[in-house]
Structure formats: C-alpha cells, structure tokens
Amino acid sequence: MKLKDLIHRIEEKVPTSSALSWDNVGLLVGDENQEIGTVYVALDATDEVVADAISQGADVILTHHPLLFSGLKQVTVGDFIGNRVIQLISHNVACYAMHTNFDVEVMGNLAAETMGLDSVRVLDATLQEETGNKGIGCVADVAPIALEGLAEKCREAFAISNVKVFGDRKQSIRRIAISPGSGKSEVENAIEAGAQVLITGDIDHHTGIDAVARGLAIIDAGHYGLEHIYVEYMAQLLQEIAPELVVRLAPAKEPFWILS
C-alpha cells in the first residue's frame, strides 16, 4: 500500500478540514508515494517513540500531537526536533499527525465512552453540519455522584495513576463536562453549559481555584491521562480500514512520576 492510500482512508474518517485554524496536521515528514507495510501509533513523536518505531521497522508513525508545530529555522542534530526529523528521513519513516481534527471528530465522544457516559452533547462547537454540531469536548448528565467518587471513576476509567482535583470532595455532581488535553480555555464553556465539574488536563493553580469560586470543580487527569486513548482507538481503526498493514503501538507510559 502507498502511504497516500492510507492517508485517504484515514481522512475519510478524520478529515484534516476539521482541524482548528492554528493547528498543524496531516503528513509532516515523508513521501506520500512511498510503499508502507508497518504503522506505528503513538501519542507523541518523542525520541523514544522514533527510536522504537525505527527498531520495529515501521514505515510511518501516526501521532496525535504534531511533531512539527511552529516553524523550524534549522534542521540539525543539535536541535532536538530537527534531530527527530533527520532520524525519520534517514530511515525512510514518515510521520503523520491528527490533532484537533481528531479532537473534533472523535476525542470528546471517545472520552465520554471511556467514562461510560451517554446522551452527550458538544461542549465547544467548532463545526456546524446538517447532522449536528461537532467540536471540542462534551457535556453529559449523570445520576448524582460525589466529586471524590467521580475522580476515582475517572482515574480507573483512563487507567492512570493519579488525578488532581479542585473542589469539595463531597460536592454532588449531576452534569459533567469533559475536554481531553489542555482544557483551560474550556472553563467558560463548561460554566455556561451548567456543568458542576470539568474533567480535563493542564490546569494551573489560579485557573483551578478561580473555577471553584465560580461553582465549577476541576478534575485534572493530565494531558496524557485523557488522550492516550487515541493510541488504542487508532489501532482498532487501522484494523478496519487497512487490515493488510502491520500495526505496532507505543508502550503505555505516563510521561512523569509523582513523589508523594
């Protein structure tokens, strides 16, 4: 199979046109006409991922987060991003990213499904279509549950070691907003949606305490914690749309550890 054929099949499911205007998605490194047989799926194209993909004979790495986001002024081994690009090109490994287009098309509903939520609606609509709105995150109503119990449910559902919580652990939650990834910008939308809690990542001190002061608890499950579900989802999708390919997955590993 040529890489461009795989890209076409992926983009039928997750079109690049759904990405937000500031994003950088699609084929970032490589030749769309190259023949491919092995695909490596990872959340990020880290040094470890690039090395592992090369060692496993991958022809293309599919990531959620773009390897190239802002412009590069040099591509040298002395620059950590430039060195990754050099390693990929020298081993004929392409790199393709689906970031906010995946968020809009898949991630919100996938996170809700992971949490066992149903009857969800979009938190931050970015696309209006005849079949309904699409966008970032989702909102769902649930049977009353204490914030502490919901935090534990979140930790278990996403199979992560910890979550950070802003808010009264005994607060009764009836409406949940979820925005996988970095969700600071979705606090206002969660409040407007009438949610009692926002499950997201990358929440700083002031954002957390200010949200609580406005009646919105925060469960910070981490950027990796909520988005690593991309890897397994893509593995299953590739089995459906390109069963002829060999699929390798980056090992599940939280990118940090906590000393307590």
pLDDT score for 130: 82
C-alpha closest to that of 142 among 195, 209, 87, 81: 195
**Dist CA 161 CA 242 (whole Å):** 33
Contact status, residue 216 vs residue 210, Cβ threshold 8 Å: no
Position 204 pLDDT exceeds 90: yes
Predicted TM-score (pTM) above 0.85: yes
pLDDT score for 213: 98
Which residue is it, tokens 């919901």? 150
Contact status, residue 244 vs residue 237, Cβ threshold 8 Å: no
Which two structure tokens, joined as six digits, stand for 56? 């496993």
pLDDT score for 70: 83
**Dist CA 181 CA 220 (whole Å):** 10
pLDDT score for 190: 98
- C-alpha neighbours within 13 Å on the C-beta side of residue 129: 12
**Dist CA 146 CA 168 (whole Å):** 9
pLDDT score for 189: 98
Which two structure tokens, joined as six digits, stand for 45? 């194209």
Position 161 pLDDT exceeds 90: yes
Position 129 pLDDT exceeds 90: no
Contact status, residue 169 vs residue 146, Cβ threshold 8 Å: yes
For the segment 85-94, the average pLDDT, to the nearest whole number, is 98
For the segment 232-259, the average pLDDT, to the nearest whole number, is 96
pLDDT in tens, 25-45: 999 999 999 999 999 999 999
pLDDT in tens, 46-86: 999 999 999 999 999 999 999 999 888 889 999 999 999 99
pLDDT score for 199: 98
For the segment 210-231, the average pLDDT, to the nearest whole number, is 98
Question: How confident is residue 227, by pLDDT bands cut at 50, 70 and 90?
Answer: very high
Position 181 pLDDT exceeds 90: yes
pLDDT score for 72: 86
The amino acid at residue 243 is: P
Compute CA distances 137 → 76, 111, 142, 200, 241, whole Å.
Answer: 37, 8, 16, 9, 25
The amino acid at residue 102 is: F
Helical spans, DSSP H, in 91-159: 100-102, 108-114, 147-157
pLDDT score for 55: 98
The amino acid at residue 195 is: A
Question: How confident is residue 260, by pLDDT bands cut at 50, 70 and 90?
Answer: confident
Q: What is the DSSP letter of 106?
A: I
pLDDT score for 132: 85
**Dist CA 38 CA 75 (whole Å):** 26
